[in-house]
Amino acid sequence: MNGSRYLVVLYVLFAGVSCVPGKKGGNAVTTVAIPFKEQVGALNLPDDIAPVTAPFPMPEFKKPVFPSLSVSIIEKGAKPGAKVTAEIQATIDEVNRRGGGTAIIPKGKWHTGRISLKSNVNLRIEEGAELYFSGEVEDYRPAVFTRNEGVEVMSLGACIYANGQENIAITGKGKMIGPAKGGSVRKQVMESDVVENFILYTTPVAERVYEGYNGSPIFLPMFISPINCKNVYIEGVSLENTAFWNIVPVYCDGVIIRGVTVNSVGIPRGDGIDIESSRNVLIEYCTLSCGDDCFTIKAGRGEDGLRVNKPTENVVVRHCLAREGHGGITCGSETAGMIRNLYVHDCVFDNTGVGIRFKTRRPRGGGGDNLIYERIRMNLTGTAFNWDMLGSATYVGELARRLPARPINRLTPSYKNIIARDIIVENASQFIKLNGIPETPLTNLLIENAVIRSNKLITVADAKDVTLRNVKIHSNDSLISLIDTRNLTFENVHFTVPGKEVVTQVTGELSGDIEFKNTVPQKPKGWVSPTWKANQ
């Protein structure tokens, strides 16, 4: 990290509580290295990729090596101020044809339409280069195979697009600016319905063509989106003013994204980095300021996502900084192919909305499993931990209603096996807000070794096997609200709340086996003992 070291954070907890995993009892003073915002993000990008240590098998990540051949777009006749789509593409094509190397976009202001990256090509956008993408639909034709919000379509693709390529890179310290506002790209976006209603999953993909002729609807181009690619490397570039999601690998294997800076604040659906049904992914030292979620993990939507059935798995996010955005790190809401083996560590979410966010919907399918978060610092405007598994009627109709519980079917998603440890929440509107699905409650959640400051405390609906261990909570509210929550344990938890009393509201026939072990206060107000049994 350019010679800097993590500052040591002291967790000074109360008697009988330890912040050391596996150690219990005694007066605990434990050192845990949790980064500050100055120590993470793109400004701290090291030259080399450090080995990845994760709680599941991961490949060795190395920088790609390209042949020495370098060709500048100027050699193909590119002139600043003019549209140079053809010259950029000719440069990429030549480097690819000659066995690989680097296609260079030098310092200057350049204007272009869609670019297609090819195998063994490093597209280097040099420092001082500004690449402006067209706002007109015609500059993104013909339609290409892509995925939009988890559904396969034939449409504009991405500003920088690749399909079925191998060993590709986008590097440099240059800047890319998304499709100009006021153009047909932004005006013709499909907004009449949610995508799964607009495109029937029974329609063959080859017939799902949306090219925008005669003012007809299109699906917005992403900024950078390789699809069906192997060994993708993105480093150092800055992205601004996207029309839609920024960096979106789809169906890729072996992806490294490092040192990237994104600014899409104020842009609806302006996600930062979305990993879609891809595997073996490393994201490190990125700084994202977004109009929607910052770091996002997705795996396909509903029936179309189940048809494709490709998970997102084996993903590590480390040393990253999320600034403004709806969520710091989000799973979903597209979850059909399953999200599994996610490890997020040593990250900071600063002035972000929600910190750690989970989304799905009853008709989305799949879910998430084995999701691990360690050494995270959060300063938030919203909730620290948020599960939104039902959504709103706007998108899923009556399925957004919690009750009645529905029969479980192939489209019923679930989240399970989630761990968050060594967490500091400097400020949040609420500690935990969990709205699960009655028929598939959130299962097996552990939050341990945490210091929390929040306005509100905890609300949980439809969860089981939940443990909060070694947690110190300062809250302006004393209410814990639980609906159909079972096997919930507060162990070594210190509550600093108004009146020095925790107040509970427990409802639902399934609620039970709620236990306060070695906590301050020892039990909630009005409880006869520290344990709440079913039907109490």
Residue 23 resides in a domain: yes
Cα–Cα distance measured from residue 141 to residue 262, given in angstroms and rounded to the nearest whole number: 26
Confidence of residue 535 (pLDDT cuts 50, 70, 90): low
When pLDDT is averaged across residues 303-314 and rounded to a whole number, the result is 98
Cα–Cα distance measured from residue 252 to residue 234, given in angstroms and rounded to the nearest whole number: 13
On whether the CB atoms of residues 134 and 179 are closer than 8 A, the answer is yes
- Percentage of the chain beyond pLDDT 70 is 94
Cα–Cα distance measured from residue 490 to residue 164, given in angstroms and rounded to the nearest whole number: 49
3-state SS track over 83-112: ECHHHHHHHHHHHHHCCCEEEEECCEEEEE
Confidence of residue 5 (pLDDT cuts 50, 70, 90): very low
On whether the CB atoms of residues 256 and 279 are closer than 8 A, the answer is no
Burial of 54: CB neighbours in 10 Å, binned 0-12, 13-18, 19+: middle
Residue 285 resides in a domain: no
Report the pLDDT value the prediction gives residue 533, as an integer from 0 to 100: 86
Report the pLDDT value the prediction gives residue 30, as an integer from 0 to 100: 54
Residue 526 resides in a domain: no
At residue 467, does pLDDT exceed 80?
yes
At residue 451, does pLDDT exceed 90?
yes
In terms of pLDDT, which residue wins out, 32 or 154?
A: 154
Confidence of residue 55 (pLDDT cuts 50, 70, 90): very high
**Domain encompassing residue 28:** 8-34
Report the pLDDT value the prediction gives residue 236, as an integer from 0 to 100: 98
Residue 512 resides in a domain: no
Measure Cα distances from 499 to 386, 461, 495, 496 in Å: 26, 25, 11, 9
- Helix (H) / strand (E) element for 348: namely strand 339-352
| Residue whose C-alpha is closest to residue 316's, from 287, 288, 284, 350 | 284
Cα torsion angle, 513, 368, 385, 375, sign:
positive
Confidence of residue 306 (pLDDT cuts 50, 70, 90): very high
Confidence of residue 7 (pLDDT cuts 50, 70, 90): very low
Question: Could you read off the pLDDT of 491-502 as tens digits, one per residue?
Answer: 999 999 999 999
Residue 451 resides in a domain: no
Confidence of residue 370 (pLDDT cuts 50, 70, 90): very high
At residue 2, does pLDDT exceed 70?
no
Strand-pair category, 339-352 with 321-322: parallel
At residue 279, does pLDDT exceed 50?
yes
Distance of CA 191 to the CA centre of its chain: 23
Q: What is the count of structural domains for the chain?
A: 1
pTM: 0.95
| Residue whose C-alpha is closest to residue 389's, from 381, 380, 401 | 401
Cα–Cα distance measured from residue 395 to residue 402, given in angstroms and rounded to the nearest whole number: 15
DSSP letters, 363-395, are: TT--EEEEEEEEEEEEEESSEEEEEE-S--HHH
Cα–Cα distance measured from residue 476 to residue 497, given in angstroms and rounded to the nearest whole number: 6
Give the number of other CB atoms < 10 A from CB of residue 342.
Answer: 26
70: region left, alpha or beta (phi > 0 left; psi from -120 to 50 alpha): beta
Measure Cα distances from 341 to 10, 113, 318, 369, 387 in Å: 29, 36, 14, 7, 18
Residue 28 resides in a domain: yes
Question: Could you read off the pLDDT of 162-189 as tens digits, one per residue?
Answer: 999 999 999 999 999 999 999 999 999 9
Residue 193 resides in a domain: no
Question: Could you read off the pLDDT of 478-492 as tens digits, one per residue?
Answer: 999 999 999 999 999
Question: Could you read off the pLDDT of 211-255 as tens digits, one per residue?
Answer: 999 999 999 999 999 999 999 999 999 999 999 999 999 999 999
SS3 content of the chain, % helix, strand, coil (to 5): 10, 45, 40
Residue 281 resides in a domain: no
Report the pLDDT value the prediction gives residue 534, as an integer from 0 to 100: 74
Give the end-to-end CA distance of the chain in Å, rounded to a whole number.
54
Give the number of other CB atoms < 10 A from CB of residue 456.
Answer: 18
Cα–Cα distance measured from residue 125 to residue 112, given in angstroms and rounded to the nearest whole number: 13
